[in-house]
């Protein structure tokens, strides 16, 4: 007899930041979890799941992961978009979790088994001034990281993406305080960033992977210039140089620089990134399990990427919950063209609210061998951290024009 889904519940918790989790329960008593967190728009996905998908899930066979994915994607009629794809992603991961638990196997085994011993990861080092940034990089290297994303301040500005002049730790979504407006000046950034990254390279020597995120703020011409200026730094990648809705413009960037490019954290389906991949406009595709329709769909994106020697490098900020982070590490262990997993880290209570089998050691991640995804939800503890509205900042240029944050 096949099992049946008897409940699909949504749990919202905020242990330092907001997370939306789908909990699927089967008639056999198996519980699977999926992450549905969409930073700054959390309740839209919660409603999508509660009001629209849960009634469709109850009564279905949890083993039919692909059929359920197709039902939720095609059955909506309306395609793509972050709210829809995060909701589908949560269902997909919860069903992979159920399947693993039912079969007594970690999900990476169901994806074909390990193709590597462990998954390379990178983390963030951020500080306003260069000396403090070098200290932050050193602290990350002391934790064993072999790849570090370096972000600094910009003279004349008070905040830039990823850090604040006066605040040491930085979680971009400001809770409870409405919309934060940052001031942005691309010229000042372009004058400063190459020197900062050159100083970091000089400091760490050739053996450390360095990364940098331009966070969608450049024109193609500016991106080409920055990529060229950074060639001596030998970056592992330069991330999100342009907003990238218009992907054809990246051809100009590619013609001018050999600095590797990574794009994709805001894209949600293979149809949104296929051009990036098939035109070889990027070296790394950054779609995350949660925002790109779950394990099933991310695997399809990575399969297409494999054909074009583009490698997977999923988004892993604190707003990707430990559930889909764990799912991503399973994909990483089992997918040949998976390059590296971003690991920003979490506010401390998050590890207690989501006890997890995945682990970090010496610059690498492993998903663990617990059946399923290996991430649980302590609902009693979760209930102690109620949801708080939080918005990502917005950015305006010096003349007050709204620009990309």
The residue ranges that bind ligand EZ4 (CB under 6 A) are 39, 172, 213, 215, 265, 315, 317, 319, 392
CB of 71 to Co ion, least distance (A): 32
Nearest to 17 by CA among 390, 399, 354: 390
| 172 or 332: CB nearest ligand EZ4 | 172
Tell me if residue 391 is catalytic: no
CB of 326 to ligand EZ4, least distance (A): 17
CB of 40 to ligand EZ4, least distance (A): 7
| 172 or 363: CB nearest ligand EZ4 | 172
Three-state DSSP string of the chain: CCCCEEEEEEEEECCCCCEEEEEEEECCCCEEEEECCCCCCHHHHHHHHHHHHHHHHCCCCCCCHHHHHHHHHHHCCCCCCHHHHHHHHHHHHHHHHHHHHHHCCEHHHHCCCCCCCCEEEEEEEEECCHHHHHHHHHHHHHCCCCEEEEEECCCCCCEECCEECCECCCCCCEECCCCCEEEECHHHHHHHHHHHHHHHHHHHCCCCEEEEECCCCCCHHHHHHHHHHCHHHCCCEEECCCCCCCCCCHHHHHHHCCCCEEECCCCCCHHHHHHHHHCCCCCEECCCCCCCCHHHHHHHHHHHHHHCCCEECCCCCCCCCHHHHHHHHHHHHHCCCECCEECCCCCHHHHHHCCECCEEECCEEECCCCCECCECCCHHHHCCCCCCCEECCEEEECCCCEECC
CB of 215 to ligand EZ4, least distance (A): 6
**Chain position whose Cβ is nearest to Co ion:** 213
Would you give the binding string for Co ion spanning residues 156-195, x where CB under 5 A is met? Answer: ----------------------------------------
Give the burial string for 112-128 (b: 16+ CB within 10 Å, else e): eebeeebbbbbbbbbbb
Interface size with Co ion, residues (CB under 5 A): 1
188 contacts which partner out of ligand EZ4, Co ion, none, CB within 5 to 8 A by kind? none
Name residues whose C-beta falls within 8 Å of residue 272's C-beta, 6 or more positions apart in sequence: 80
Considering only the stretches 8-16, 24-32, 205-213, 270-278, report the one whose residues sit in contact with Co ion under the rule CB under 5 A: 205-213
- Of 124, 164, 192, 215, which one is the catalytic site residue? 215
Measured CA to CA, the distance from residue 96 to residue 99 in angstroms comes to 5
CB of 396 to ligand EZ4, least distance (A): 17
Tell me if residue 215 is catalytic: yes
| 213 or 376: CB nearest ligand EZ4 | 213
| 162 or 355: CB nearest ligand EZ4 | 162
Q: Counting contacts by CB under 5 A, is residue 272 touching Co ion?
A: no
Compute how many other C-beta atoms are within 10 angstroms of the C-beta atom of residue 224: 20
62 contacts which partner out of ligand EZ4, Co ion, none, CB within 5 to 8 A by kind? none
CB of 162 to ligand EZ4, least distance (A): 6
185 contacts which partner out of Co ion, ligand EZ4, none, CB within 5 to 8 A by kind? none
| 172 or 371: CB nearest ligand EZ4 | 172
- Of 19, 33, 122, 161, which one is the catalytic site residue? 161
CB of 213 to Co ion, least distance (A): 4
| 317 or 322: CB nearest ligand EZ4 | 317
Would you give the binding string for Co ion spanning residues 206-235, x where CB under 5 A is met? Answer: -------x----------------------
Nearest to 332 by CA among 108, 145, 149: 108
| 35 or 319: CB nearest ligand EZ4 | 319
319 contacts which partner out of Co ion, ligand EZ4, none, CB within 5 to 8 A by kind? ligand EZ4
Residues interacting with Co ion, by CB under 5 A? 213
State the catalytic residues.
Answer: 161, 215
């Amino acid at each position: 007899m096949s099992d049946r889904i008897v409940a699909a519940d949504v749990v919202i918790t905020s242990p330092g930041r907001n997370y939306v989790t789908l909990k699927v329960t089967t008639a056999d008593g198996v519980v699977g979890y999926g992450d549905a967190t969409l930073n700054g728009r959390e309740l839209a996905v919660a409603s999508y799941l509660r009001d629209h998908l849960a009634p469709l899930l109850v009564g279905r066979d949890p083993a039919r992961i692909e059929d359920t994915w197709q039902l939720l994607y095609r059955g909506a009629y309306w395609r793509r978009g972050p709210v829809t794809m995060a909701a589908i992603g949560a269902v997909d991961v919860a069903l992979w979790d159920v399947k693993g638990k039912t079969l007594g196997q970690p999900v990476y085994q169901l994806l074909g088994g390990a193709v590597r011993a462990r998954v390379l990861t990178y983390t963030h080092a951020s500080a306003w001034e260069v000396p403090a940034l070098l200290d932050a990089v050193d602290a990350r290297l002391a934790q064993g990281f072999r790849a570090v994303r370096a972000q600094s301040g910009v003279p004349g500005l008070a905040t830039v993406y990823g850090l604040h002049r006066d605040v040491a730790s930085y979680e971009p979504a400001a809770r409870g305080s409405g919309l934060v407006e940052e001031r942005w000046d691309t010229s000042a950034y372009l004058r400063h960033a190459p020197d900062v990254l050159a100083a970091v390279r000089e400091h760490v020597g050739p053996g450390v992977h360095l990364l940098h995120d331009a966070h969608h703020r450049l024109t193609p011409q500016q991106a080409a210039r920055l990529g060229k200026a950074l060639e001596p730094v030998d970056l592992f990648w330069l991330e999100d140089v342009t907003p990238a809705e218009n992907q054809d413009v990246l051809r100009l960037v590619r013609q001018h620089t050999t600095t590797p490019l990574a794009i994709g954290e805001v894209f949600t389906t293979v149809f949104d990134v296929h051009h990036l991949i098939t035109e070889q406009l990027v070296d790394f595709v950054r779609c995350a399990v949660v925002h790109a329709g779950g394990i099933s769909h991310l695997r399809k994106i990575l399969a297409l990427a494999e054909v074009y020697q583009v490698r997977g490098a999923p988004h892993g900020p604190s707003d990707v919950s430990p559930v889909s982070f764990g799912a991503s590490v399973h994909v990483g262990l089992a997918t040949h063209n998976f390059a590296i997993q971003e690991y920003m880290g979490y506010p401390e209570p998050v590890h207690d609210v989501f006890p997890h089998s995945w682990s970090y050691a010496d610059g690498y991640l492993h998903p663990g061998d617990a059946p399923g995804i290996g991430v649980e939800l302590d609902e009693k503890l979760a209930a102690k951290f109620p949801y708080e509205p939080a918005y990502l900042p917005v950015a305006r240029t010096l003349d007050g024009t709204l620009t990309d944050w």
